[in-house]
Amino acid sequence: MSRAKLYSESKAEELPALESARSMGVIIPVRPHRAGTYFCSTVIVASKEPFGHVDTYLLEEQGEKVVQGLKLAMSALRAEQGIVAVKITGAFAALDKILQDRSNIRAHLLEDFYPASYLLLNSDLSGDDCLAYDPETLANLYDARERGIPVTRKLVSCTGEVAKPSIIIAPLGTSFRELIELCGGATTDEFVILNGNPMHSDVILDIDTPVEKGTSGILVLARDHELIRKALMPVEFVIKRIKSVCTQCGFCTELCPVYLTGCELTPHTIIRQIISGTVSEEDCILSSMLCIGCGLCDIICPVGLNPQSIIRTIQQSLRDRGVSQNNEKERGKPLNMASVRSFRRIPTQVVINRLDLQKYNQPLWVRSCEANPDQVELLLRQVGSNPVPLVRVGDKVSEGDLVVRGLDPGDVTLHASISGTVTLVDEKRIIIAA
Ligand code: SF4
Ligand code: SF4
């Protein structure tokens, strides 16, 4: 039996490290899996972009730990090769040195295009079946497996309109308010927070929102910044604008990275159906499930529309109706886009300039300061669909104690991120005061 056959028969339950890794951070599913079955010949370490400060910091400062985590993931997934993809030459040199004696893991220097990681993951280099992890997930996997240390802290970058943009080591449940204060405070009165990749992040209006396992970076922006204005635009208004000014030029499709990897995701035809008010091509609408939310279609649209928000709204409504990314129909026949792909890549700097974020893309003031909050708010939704608190109000806990577990398959666990007393337990959160 060939190894490839073996992978194709690997069931999820045979991969014990996978779920434990998921509890540590984010797994990025690269290709749709058939239900319950994982195909994995390659594990890739991919950084978030743009503004992937935390990933760069980890690869430069804790490369050995990330590589050890990668080895654990490869072993659990029975993957033959590992690739650590980096854009920064300093990080590449450090990793190349670490990887000198490891024949099945190598560093790969990405070209500076957006979204570079996605383009790599869908190239010949990675092979057909690969999984991608962010560096922090792998570092956490190593800590949990080899050192018995659960995830209680997160590295979070805090940039944008703050006095001292920094990377902060924050206990889970630390408020964004505390992060901003540690960075010297906001430099503008009316601000909002983008949580995650600015191309497709949530706009956070509540400054007391807590850090979760998936939080990697916040960007503080003035409320009247164009990015915020677009992100807060109601979808009904987006549709009205699209109906009045979309010229059907097709640029959004021509530069869509998913389309360029051969998938039949064509944003302009989805938009055309919105304009006509009919769903004449069901497969086209289903292809919305393939959108990775990179936001390039918004950046490239010559009349300033934001097709991404329409496509993601359709995607969410399909998800709510139980459509999954595994549906073969969504994928359609692969298109051969290899001949044009290299001419249609967008440099990351162009993306940052178009978003008017260039002044925030600077070296950070402090690369690792620690937050010491008086209290933390642990959101139960991080555990999964069926979280069960294991503590009551008044209980004393120490950092690392198990405080929530999940009942459903795929649910994970949550540990106290500071030592103290439990002051609140409800269906949404646990609050611990130091
Ligand atoms: S790029 Fe803009 S104007 Fe052109 S088809 Fe797409 S949404 Fe319409
Ligand atoms: S956000 Fe736009 S460009 Fe990016 S994958 Fe989705 S449709 Fe394509």
Question: Which ligand is located closest to the Cα atom of residue 267?
Answer: 2
**Per-residue pLDDT tens over the stretch 236-259:** 888 899 999 999 999 999 999 888
Residues of the chain with CATH 3.40.50.11540: 3-147
Distance CA(409)–CA(138), nearest Å, equals: 21
* Predicted local confidence at residue 121, as pLDDT: 65
Beta bridge partners of 238: none
More confident of the two residues 383 and 30: 383
Instruction: Specify the CATH superfamily of domain 3-147.
Output: NADH-ubiquinone oxidoreductase 51kDa subunit (3.40.50.11540)
Confidence of residue 186 (pLDDT cuts 50, 70, 90): very high
Of the listed ranges 166-180, 190-204, 382-396, 414-428, the least confidently predicted one is 190-204
Contacts of 102 (CB under 8 A, 6+ apart): 67
Average pLDDT of 57-73?
Answer: 89
* Predicted local confidence at residue 174, as pLDDT: 97
* Predicted local confidence at residue 148, as pLDDT: 85
Looking at domain 233-343, its CATH class is mainly alpha
Average pLDDT of 159-184?
Answer: 95
Quote the mean pLDDT of the chain.
82
What is the rounded (10 degree) CA torsion for 239, 242, 245, 249?
-170
Check pocket membership of 230 for ligand 1, CB cut-off 6 A: no
> Ligand 1 centroid to 233 CA: how many Å?
18
* Predicted local confidence at residue 4, as pLDDT: 27
Distance CA(130)–CA(261), nearest Å, equals: 15
**Omega of the bond prior to 115 within 30 degrees of 0, cis?**
yes
Average pLDDT of 297-324?
Answer: 88
Contact 135, 66 (CB under 8 A): yes
Cα–Cα distances in angstroms (integers) from residue 185 to residues 51, 161, 201, in the given order: 20, 9, 21
* Predicted local confidence at residue 124, as pLDDT: 66
* Predicted local confidence at residue 128, as pLDDT: 61
Beta bridge partners of 387: 406
Cα–Cα distances in angstroms (integers) from residue 187 to residues 164, 171, 180, 181, in the given order: 10, 25, 10, 11
Confidence of residue 397 (pLDDT cuts 50, 70, 90): very high
Distance CA(275)–CA(284), nearest Å, equals: 14
Cα–Cα distances in angstroms (integers) from residue 258 to residues 13, 186, 299, 316, 409, in the given order: 30, 37, 15, 18, 31
* Predicted local confidence at residue 27, as pLDDT: 39
* Predicted local confidence at residue 333, as pLDDT: 58
Distance CA(314)–CA(23), nearest Å, equals: 28
Residues of the chain with CATH 2.40.50: 375-434
Distance CA(415)–CA(24), nearest Å, equals: 11
Contact 287, 332 (CB under 8 A): yes
* Predicted local confidence at residue 211, as pLDDT: 96
**Per-residue pLDDT tens over the stretch 78-105:** 788 888 888 877 778 888 888 887 788 9
> Ligand 1 centroid to 237 CA: how many Å?
16
Contact 37, 8 (CB under 8 A): yes
More confident of the two residues 222 and 121: 222
The two tokens of residue 9 are: 């028969």
The two tokens of residue 422 are: 């439990």
Of the listed ranges 1-10, 63-72, 117-126, 277-286, the least confidently predicted one is 1-10
Backbone angles phi, psi at 369, to 5 degrees: -105, 155
Confidence of residue 334 (pLDDT cuts 50, 70, 90): low
Question: Which ligand is located closest to the Cα atom of residue 309?
Answer: 2
Sign of CA dihedral 415, 418, 421, 425: negative
Confidence of residue 417 (pLDDT cuts 50, 70, 90): very high
Average pLDDT of 60-87?
Answer: 86
Pocket test for ligand 1, best of 303, 311, 346, 354 (most atoms within 8 A of CB): 303
Closest by CA to 140, choosing from 81, 54, 217, 31, is: 54
Distance CA(263)–CA(292), nearest Å, equals: 12
- The matching CATH number, chosen from 3.10.105.10, 3.10.20.600, 3.40.1440.60, 2.60.120.10, for 152-225+356-373 is 3.10.20.600
| Alpha helices per DSSP H over 294-404 | 296-300, 307-320, 328-331, 338-341, 348-354
Of the listed ranges 63-72, 268-277, 329-338, 343-352, the least confidently predicted one is 329-338
- The ligand 1 atom at the shortest distance from the C-alpha of residue 245 is 3
Contact 49, 23 (CB under 8 A): no
User: Would you call 343 helix, strand, or coil by DSSP?
Assistant: helix
- CA Rg value for the chain: 22
pLDDT > 90? residue 133 = no
Q: Whose CA is nearest to atom 8 of ligand 1?
A: 246
Pocket test for ligand 2, best of 253, 290, 308, 310 (most atoms within 8 A of CB): 308
* Predicted local confidence at residue 35, as pLDDT: 39
DSSP one-letter code for 287: G
Check pocket membership of 249 for ligand 1, CB cut-off 6 A: yes
* Predicted local confidence at residue 19, as pLDDT: 39
DSSP secondary structure, 21-52, as one string: HHTTS-EE--SPPPTTB---SEEEE----SS-
* Predicted local confidence at residue 202, as pLDDT: 80
Token pair 């699209």 is found at 242
pLDDT > 70? residue 5 = no
Check pocket membership of 66 for ligand 2, CB cut-off 6 A: no
Q: Whose CA is nearest to atom 5 of ligand 1?
A: 248
Residues of the chain with CATH 1.10.1060: 233-343
Instruction: Using a pLDDT cut of 90, give the percent of the chain over it.
Output: 37
**Per-residue pLDDT tens over the stretch 12-34:** 333 333 433 343 333 333 343 44
Confidence of residue 427 (pLDDT cuts 50, 70, 90): very high
Check pocket membership of 432 for ligand 2, CB cut-off 6 A: no
More confident of the two residues 278 and 19: 278
Query: First-to-last CA distance in the chain?
Result: 56
- Taking residue 372's Cβ as centre, other Cβ atoms within 10 Å add up to 11
pLDDT > 70? residue 3 = no
> Ligand 1 centroid to 109 CA: how many Å?
33
Closest by CA to 308, choosing from 298, 321, 318, is: 298
Check pocket membership of 70 for ligand 2, CB cut-off 6 A: no
Q: Whose CA is nearest to atom 1 of ligand 1?
A: 301
More confident of the two residues 369 and 130: 369
Per CATH, the number for 375-434 is 2.40.50
**Per-residue pLDDT tens over the stretch 33-61:** 443 455 567 777 877 778 888 888 888 88
* Predicted local confidence at residue 280, as pLDDT: 62
Beta bridge partners of 421: 396, 433
> Ligand 1 centroid to 256 CA: how many Å?
12
